[in-house]
Amino acid sequence: MRENPDDPQVLSDAILAWYDVHARDMPWRVPPQARRAGQTPDPYRIWLSEVMLQQTTVATVKSYFERFTARWPTVRDLAAAQDADVMAEWAGLGYYARARNLLKCARTVDQDYGGTFPADHAELLKLPGIGPYTAAAIASIAFDLRHTVLDGNVERVMARLHDIHVPLPASKPILMEKADALTPVDRPGDYAQAVMDLGATICTPKSPACGICPWRDPCAARAEGTAADLPKKTPKKAKPTRHGTVFLAQRADGAWLLETRPDKGLLGGMLGWPGSDWIDVSHPLPEAPPPCAAEWQLIDGEVRHTFTHFHLILHVFRAQVAIGTEPETGGFRDAAEFKPTDLPTVMRKAFDLAR
């Protein structure tokens, strides 16, 4: 009797065999051969990598992951860190609520779980910054529990494998159902990583490499010639352009005037330059009260930056101020204690322009 190519077991066996050969090397990953030899992943490193990887590429995450784990080797080390140090180390990675939740989560694991991540999907889901995807990723990858990850890769792979034309995000429940049906009881952690690796390297958004795909034969979209057009997505709306002004004051001793932004909202908890609100209307020069009296000089040019949901054009003023200047907002930070890399990217761009 012939094997049915649509048998879930046949499909998971095929992708696991592919993963045994093609698993990508990542600093947090335990390769399949090492896992078979009995090596288990460090849940702290899996958690940290998964939070960093939310909406962020592997290439970008690697260096951040190395710096974080060198500086804070365990979750208890991280729990004991200063907030400002963690935010500064996260600077440039984006989605800064992740860093605030990372600290909250580390401190909860430290205080409520004895410094050990719970090997339980429902418990993981309660922790700050851990949603459905990350809980399933930690449960499966770190603890080899049978849970199904549904990220952008898996959505794309499932939409193609089953030739599903319902647009995202409406199709998510269907895609989850398909993904769950393929998740094996044996090696669920390797399986989760295998599907994501497949999506990242073969079943890519544009021009997928169907010819070398381990699921080439059972793939419905490949048979229909629709692979490159899937998954369908509901159109997103256009980004407006906002304008704003920032003020870079440097004291005679070299100290810079900076402020820590409020925890809520855009760039929450991050260091930044004092400035105006960012508004949709273009002023000739957006009016904003400077943080202190000085000979403010408008820098030629402007900072252009695009956030998730709007474009920003930032005008930059600079001034030298005297020792003893009392700012209306923020505080002076000694030059020795300030690195531009502590800033979120848009603020670093303003610094670069003013230099």
Nearer to DNA, 196 or 354 (CB): 196
Question: Which of 3, 50, 155, 326 is labelled catalytic?
Answer: 50
Least spacing, CB of residue 54 vs DNA, in Å: 4
Nearer to DNA, 129 or 291 (CB): 129
CA distance 101 to 90: 12
Least spacing, CB of residue 228 vs DNA, in Å: 10
CA distance 130 to 121: 10
Q: Return residues touching DNA (CB under 7 A).
A: 24, 26, 29, 49-50, 53-60, 92-97, 101, 128-135, 137, 151-153, 156, 193, 196-197, 199-200, 204-206, 233, 236, 238, 265-268, 305-309, 344-346
DSSP 320: E
Active site residue 66: no
Q: 294-303 — which CB contacts under 8 Å span 24+ positions?
A: 294/249, 294/319, 294/320, 294/321, 294/325, 295/319, 295/320, 296/247, 299/353, 299/354, 301/353, 302/353, 303/346, 303/349, 303/350, 303/353
CA distance 110 to 89: 20
CA distance 287 to 275: 10
The identity of residue 70, as a single letter, is A
Least spacing, CB of residue 116 vs DNA, in Å: 20
Least spacing, CB of residue 8 vs DNA, in Å: 21
Nearer to DNA, 173 or 254 (CB): 173
Residues labelled catalytic: 50
